[in-house]
A = this chain, B = another copy of it.
Amino acid sequence: MLTIADKTFRSRLFTGTGKFSRAALMEQALLESGSELVTVALKRVDVQNEQDDILTHLHHPQFHLLPNTSGVRNAKEAVFAAQLAREALETNWIKLEIHPDPKYLLPDAVETLKATEELAKLGFVVLPYIHADPVLCKRLEEVGTAAVMPLGSPIGSNKGLRTIDFLEIIIEQSKVPVVVDAGIGAPSDAAKALELGADAVLVNTAIAAAADPVAMARAFRLAVEAGRLAFEARLAPPTPNAAASSPLTAFLDQL
Contact = CB atoms under 8 A, between A and B. Distances in A.
Given A43-B247, A223-B222, A104 B72 contact: no
Interface stretch (A87-95, A118-126, A207-215): A207-215
A192 B187 CA distance: 8
Interface stretch (A4-12, A20-28, A56-64, A149-157): A149-157
Interface residues of A, number: 96
Contacts of A237: 158
A136 B101 CA distance: 11
A105 B234 contact: no
A195 B186 contact: yes
B105 A242 contact: yes
A103 to B, nearest CB: 6
Nearest to A249: B71
Interface in A150-202: 153-160, 162-166, 169, 173, 185-189, 191-192, 195
B189 A239 contact: no
A243 B156 contact: yes
B131 A110 contact: no
Interface in A50-91: 69-73, 77, 80-81
A210 to B, nearest CB: 5
Contacts of A222: 222-223, 225-226, 229
Nearest to A185: B238
A1 interface: no
A16 interface: no
Contacts of A191: 186-188, 191, 223, 226
Q: Which of A205, A220, A252 has the most CB of B within 10 A?
A: A252
A188 to B, nearest CB: 4
Contacts of A163: 163
Nearest to A45: B248
B71 A103 contact: no
A141 interface: no
A15 to B, nearest CB: 15
A230 B169 contact: no
